[in-house]
Structure 1
Amino acid sequence: MKSTVFEVTTGHSEVVYDLTPQCTQFAREAGGDGLLHVFVPHATAGIAVLELGAGSDHDLLAALRELLPADDRWRHAHGSRGHGRSHVMPALIPPYATIPVIGGALTLGTWQSIALVDLNVDNPDRQVRLSFLTDD
């Protein structure tokens, strides 16, 4: 297994951050056929495979705001108002995704991208672990 960790700064606002370029480069460098596993070791972030740049990223954030409002209903209440929702979000958008790789290329669909979803406005710095699994 080949593995690497890199840092992402998401800032202090809700974000859908495109990881596709880093994933593409890592898969190309790993080469061959296998599985790319993308993981964020955080209790308040997730990984999504979706279309980006055509409004879907904004729609996802709007849907999450509706499902998980940033208000005072959350028992997990430290940090900014509504912080507890960030700890619930990974049950909806898990902190990982696995993408097949053929000949060093991600086998994403035409409009698919790999994104970090982060609602936690209190933590602007994230780690992402990429692991390339083969049967070798």
Structure 2
Amino acid sequence: MSTFTVETDRRLQVVDVTDRVREALPDDADGTATVFSRHTTAGVAVNEAESRLLGDYEAMLADLVPDEGWDHDELDGNADSHLRSLLVGASETVPVSEGDLGLGTWQSILLVECDGPRTRTVEVRS
């Protein structure tokens, strides 16, 4: 198991962490790698990391889940963040062969920040 941190600078932000995940893998890793967010307001997804698409992803999550009007907001004002990350999911499993990720041509591993800016911990198990 390996971990790394990601610094985010916006409340809702999608960050390409593919290279960081690749670096976290042992050279002889073979099978699968699970990439896991240790947070209830951030998630992990596999998709294309083209900058306009990342912006579209952020806009989609903002449109799907309004910022306000949730019961949990009475506690700490971030129910929208919890709900957005619930849609994304906390982890992805990716094939690994000879220490490298078995991603498709346009696939990247993305950390989806829903309650930033924050420092996030990502765990990689292979």
Aligned counterparts, 1:1-136, within 5 A: 3-27=1-25, 29-71=26-68, 73-77=69-73, 78-80=75-77, 83-121=78-116, 124-132=118-126
Q: How far does the alpha carbon of each residue in 1:95-134 deviate from its partner, in whole angstroms, 9 at most, with x for none?
A: 100000012111101000001001203x5111111111xx
Q: Distance in 1 between matches of 2:19 and 2:112?
A: 16
**CA positional deviation for 1:76:** 1.1
Q: Distance in 1 between matches of 2:21 and 2:51?
A: 20
Q: How far does the alpha carbon of each residue in 1:9-48 deviate from its partner, in whole angstroms, 9 at most, with x for none?
A: 1124321011101111223x34241111100111111101
Task: Note if contact 2:5-2:122 (Cα within 8 Å) is conserved in structure 1.
Answer: yes
Q: Distance in 2 between matches of 1:10 and 1:86?
A: 14
Q: Distance in 2 between matches of 1:32 and 1:40?
A: 20
Judge which range, 84-93 or 42-51, deviates more: 84-93
For normalisation by structure 1, the TM-score amounts to 0.84
| Letter of the structure 1 residue corresponding to residue 8 of structure 2 | T
| Letter of the structure 2 residue corresponding to residue 76 of structure 1 | H
CA RMSD of aligned residues (A): 1.5
Figure out how many residues of one structure are paired with residues of the other and give that number: 125
Q: Which sections of structure 1, spanning at least 5 residues, go unmatched?
A: none
Runs of 4+ in 1 over 4 A off after TM superposition: none
Identity %: 34
Task: Note if contact 1:11-1:125 (Cα within 8 Å) is conserved in structure 2.
Answer: no
The structure where helix makes up a greater share of residues is 2
Larger radius of gyration: 1
